[in-house]
Amino acid sequence: MPDLRLHNSLTRQKERFEPLDPAHVRLYVCGPTVYDLAHIGNARPVVVFDVLSRLLRRLYPRVTYVRNVTDVDDKINARAQQSGEPIGAITARTLADYHADMAALGALPPDVEPRATAHIADMIAIIERLIASGHAYAAEGHVLFAVGSFPRYGALSGRPPDEMLAGARIEIAPYKRDAGDFVLWKPSSDDLPGWDSPWGRGRPGWHIECSAMSWRYLGESFDIHGGGADLIFPHHENELAQSVCAFPGSGFARVWVHNGMLLVNGEKMSKSLGNFLTVRDVLARGPAEAARLLLLRTHYRASLDFSDFAFAEARRELDRFYRALERRPAPPADTVPESVLEALCDDLNTPLAIARLHELADAALAGDAPASAALRAGGGMLGILQQDPSAWFRGGPDAAAIEARIAERQAARRARDFVHADAVRQALEQEGIVLEDGPAGTTWRRA
């Protein structure tokens, strides 16, 4: 079994992964803020960390994967105000949609999916600890984290605190001691969600929930913290500062893993730019499995330019894999080939793992049944190639009607009426159905 090596954003180096407790690996990933449909950029970390969790489960006896749900947030409040829909309804509906979309992309649910609103007491407990230890202060109903109290502030994002503020385009609230201080707790007016606290009725700042929920489910120190690269600053920097100051001596997350951004036409996909493509949009254009493969064809830390062309290409690649599986049916096997495991263990090199799958597909097409079994098992590590090839090629409605027309063509061919036979072929081709004549008869697939 190869050693797992991961790139740690904290050290900016690839390091050998050594769990705090080899009997129990703990992973925390930042999840969605539930106010709108997930876009394909939101799906990238889900798919990436799904692969990481599958790999960890293969390598270690027990893994706890926590992914939070942010269900208290000013974007949610704004959405509710704008549409008139109650906050609870928005978050419940959006979370259900999120679950459906991520399941369609083949992502397994995390072990724990805690919601921020269910952990207000944990957040208050951490804030109290921070105040007691001099790392936070209350001012005008707010509680702020004092960045000056934490010398290592800026280490994760690589920004010395003073420089960090020079170009910041934020208006500095007058009650802040230091321009970089950030909100742990803020007051809520009556029309906004709020909870009673030692500082009055209010709601949490953005970062504190992750400190609270990771603490609650994984402890003061855990192994891996994941999320999008855009979260490094300020979210993860702040989270790290809060947690380490609240629990002195703890290391918080040992390894920080960040996925690169998804681009559309060379620009970052983001809600503010309005150029986002929802997972739904993507699923309407092609198979979910092709979307998943597309997300894994690029190394997770690199940026990935989403395009229809790449989506179609991913689909053709899957055609090849499923063709190999169909030609050489293999019993289910869960012996993941070493070549695939080795690629994944090298900082989750999914593009290389996919290249290794192609080697197996070649062997399977040449008649090697064990290679076919290995292909399916290796695909399983990536969360692909688990469906029946027949469903991949011929799934969907109208199968019976298509079969009937193929039979009609076969009759024509037997009668050597090739004009009629070709007319049927062409008609089906117009409908996106490709026929393949072989020694065992004619088979078909959707192009």
Partner RNA sequence: GGUCCGGUGGCAGAGUGGUGAUGCAGCGGACUGCAAAUCCGCGUAUGUGGGUUCGAUUCCCGCCCGGACCUCCA
432 scored as a contact of RNA (CB under 7 A): no
* Closest-CA residue to 324 (of 361, 374, 375, 367): 361
Shortest reach from residue 248's CB to RNA, in Å? 26
Beta bridge partners of 346: 5
431 scored as a contact of RNA (CB under 7 A): no
- Interface positions, 277-316, toward RNA (CB under 7 A): 297-299, 301-305, 309-310, 313, 316
Shortest reach from residue 215's CB to RNA, in Å? 19
- Interface positions, 172-231, toward RNA (CB under 7 A): 206, 227-231
Q: Which of 19, 32, 379, 380 binds RNA (CB under 7 A)?
A: 32
Shortest reach from residue 68's CB to RNA, in Å? 11
Which residues are CB-contacts of 271 (< 8 A; sequence separation ≥ 6)? 36, 39
Both structure tokens of 233: 């600053």
Count of residues that bind RNA according to CB under 7 A: 79
Q: Which is nearer to RNA, 128 or 338 (CB)?
A: 338
Sequence letter at residue 96 = A
418 scored as a contact of RNA (CB under 7 A): yes
Shortest reach from residue 285's CB to RNA, in Å? 17
371 scored as a contact of RNA (CB under 7 A): no
Q: Which of 6, 19, 33, 91 binds RNA (CB under 7 A)?
A: 33
Shortest reach from residue 19's CB to RNA, in Å? 23
DSSP 3-state of 216:
helix
Segment interacting with RNA, rule: CB under 7 A, options 210-218, 332-340, 384-392, 414-422: 414-422
Residue pair 216/119 in contact (Cβ under 8 Å)? The answer is yes
- Interface positions, 325-354, toward RNA (CB under 7 A): 346, 349, 351-352, 354
DSSP 3-state of 318:
helix
Q: Which of 45, 193, 287, 389 binds RNA (CB under 7 A)?
A: 45
Beta bridge partners of 257: 226
Segment interacting with RNA, rule: CB under 7 A, options 109-117, 128-136, 248-256, 265-273: 265-273
DSSP 3-state of 65:
strand
Direct distance between the N- and C-terminal alpha carbons of the chain, in angstroms, rounded to an integer:
39
169 scored as a contact of RNA (CB under 7 A): yes
Sequence letter at residue 160 = P
Cα–Cα distances (Å) from 176 to 113, 141, 145, 370, in that order, read: 33, 12, 9, 65
**Long-range Cβ pairs for the range 74-81 (8 Å, 24+):** 75/33, 75/35, 76/33, 76/34, 76/35, 77/192, 77/193, 79/35, 79/36
Cα–Cα distances (Å) from 224 to 11, 98, 260, 329, in that order, read: 13, 23, 17, 38
Q: Which of 3, 18, 196, 267 binds RNA (CB under 7 A)?
A: 267
Q: Which is nearer to RNA, 266 or 397 (CB)?
A: 266
Shortest reach from residue 197's CB to RNA, in Å? 21
113 scored as a contact of RNA (CB under 7 A): no
Segment interacting with RNA, rule: CB under 7 A, options 89-97, 122-130, 356-364, 380-388: 356-364
Helices (H), 223-349: 237-246, 279-285, 288-296, 308-327, 338-345
Distance of CA 68 to the CA centre of its chain: 12
Q: Which is nearer to RNA, 62 or 75 (CB)?
A: 75
- Interface positions, 51-110, toward RNA (CB under 7 A): 75
167 scored as a contact of RNA (CB under 7 A): yes
Q: Which is nearer to RNA, 24 or 320 (CB)?
A: 320
Task: Return d(Cα 342, Cα 350) in angstroms, integer.
Answer: 10
